Amino acid sequence: MSAPLGAARAWLEQDPDPVTRAELERLLHDAEGGVINAETELRSRFGSRLTFGTAGLRGELGAGPARMNRVLVAQAASGFAAFLLSREEHPSIVIGYDGRTNSDVFARDTAELMAGAGVRAILLPRALPTPVLAFAVRHLGVSAGVMVTASHNPPRDNGYKVYLGGADAGSQIVAPTDAEIQARILEAAERDIRLFSRSGDFEIAGEEVLDEYVARTAAIAGDSGGLVPFVYTAMHGVGWETARRVFDVAGFGEPVVVADQIEPDPEFPTVAFPNPEEPGAMDLAFATATRVGAELVLANDPDADRLAVAVPDGEGWRRLSGNEVGVLLGWRAAERAHGGGTLAASLVSSPVLRTIADAHGLDFAETLTGFKWISRPPGLVFGFEEALGYLVDPEKVRDKDGISAAVAVLALAAELRRNDRTLDDALDDVAERIGGFASTQISLRVSDLGEIPRMMRELRENPPTHVGSLAVDRIDDFAEGFGDFGPTDLIRLWTEGGSRIILRPSGTEPKLKIYIDATSTDGDGRARRRAAAAVVAELDEGMRRLVG
């Protein structure tokens, strides 16, 4: 029996899921019958395993260690329990889940295995947004949290995200903790999961957790100054129940919703990818907003930790970039940070937040990508990442929070509306004060993951001297570490005039991401934004030619 066949047989014997068992039995039958594609598929599932990293686990549903399934989750839960027990005598954990396929199953398995291992386990009462779980870690004072979600990944994916309490204050894990947990998971994987102790002696969290999250999130609005007609979509995710309550308590009333996307649906039938950044994902929201005469569109991703914002643009709608929303919320936070504090952004996000911090006499922290880093600077009052992630209330949640960000946007829009001004006007005002900033992103999705290292290697070995008509002044390669940053697969190019281009592989999807930023101080606020956008457009075209 070949190695993949033997591994698959051993896996099948311990798999408690009838769906993945049947799937694996068919593959084994076909492979043993000489079907070439079947053996190839088995090798792809059993030739490697999903690695637990700082983003936890994330992958396609299916049988085998290279897929997300109940066996892999049991190994992860058992390993994580061992890790927690090695750190403290009586650890505790809260577990949440979204509306994706098997999220509830993976969450319950985790609760049973944690309880069986001697960890106090608390399961959230139903599918709820990731920010509610992140809040619960801090609010309940537990040792750790697990959120079963794949966020905005394709429909067939699921994931396992980990938070730590205590000194980590409810942030996601960072190195070397991920490697320590991975080592425990690999130890667990040596055993048959049927030997793991399980217990139904776990708790179900009361409604008080959600009630407190709603109250504290609504308080972000302060005196909002009036209503703004807006459209909301949950993108087939779990955001609506919580967002609806928050909007009501905050005094924003009930939005018009995108009916076809408002309830959780793991098939995500109306979108190619359930990500507000993807082309076409917000088309139904735009059509709804046009039909009802709304002034604003808000969209959460499926686990509601991200927020997309769109504004009228002539005859249609324009989605603000994550950097533009970061400008608006960062300026709002800076104006309210009367006691000082820190603004934080990842190094791939617009440099505008540093300029905002300087203008208000605040500290600024530039971090590696991910809110596991953005959430950690001391004195944090606001943090953001260009991928539609915003941390607007660090005392409540140490992670991006699309519902809290929606409240902050609505409050700002209402304040502006009272003076017959819009979010676009506010962007002009900021540009008038500190300069116009523009940005864009290129996401090159690949089917062969080997293409991404090849492209990065080619750029390192043959660095460009120009991008478009702009000369490259210098190149920063982070592969061996750079400045305060440890080694990471990232290249940063600086062109004449101070424009910036960053290239890095995505940490969660098969993509090479390219981030382009430019700034201008020529003319008034609107002219500055246009001038910066013109430079960005030229660099975008140049980079597409370079890597295409």
CA 50/CA 330 separation, integer angstroms: 36
Where does residue 451 rank: exposed (0-12), middle (13-18), buried (19+ CB within 10 A)? Answer: middle
Q: Which of 151, 321, 375, 520 is catalytic?
A: 151
CA distances 292 to 245, 257, 429, 435, Å, are 22, 10, 29, 35
Cα 175 to its chain centre, rounded Å, is 18
Q: Which residues have C-beta within 8 Å of that of residue 338, sequence separation ≥ 6?
A: none
CB 196 within 8 A of CB 81: no
- Residue 511 CB: number of other CB atoms within 10 A? 16
- Residue 68 CB: number of other CB atoms within 10 A? 28
CB 536 within 8 A of CB 439: yes
CA angle 292, 298, 304 (to 5 degrees): 140
Q: 172: which strand partners?
A: 163
Give which of 36, 23, 31 is closest to 4, Cα–Cα: 31
Terminal C-alpha separation, the chain: 44
| Catalytic annotation present for 199 | no
- Name the residue type at position 401: D
CA 209/CA 239 separation, integer angstroms: 16
DSSP 537: H
CA 5/CA 521 separation, integer angstroms: 64
Write out 367-416 in H/E/C secondary structure. Answer: ECCCHHHHCCCCCEEEEEECCCEEECCCCCCCCCCHHHHHHHHHHHHHHH
Where does residue 490 rank: exposed (0-12), middle (13-18), buried (19+ CB within 10 A)? Answer: buried
Percentages helix, strand, coil for the chain (3-state, rounded to 5) are 40, 20, 35
State the catalytic residues.
Answer: 151
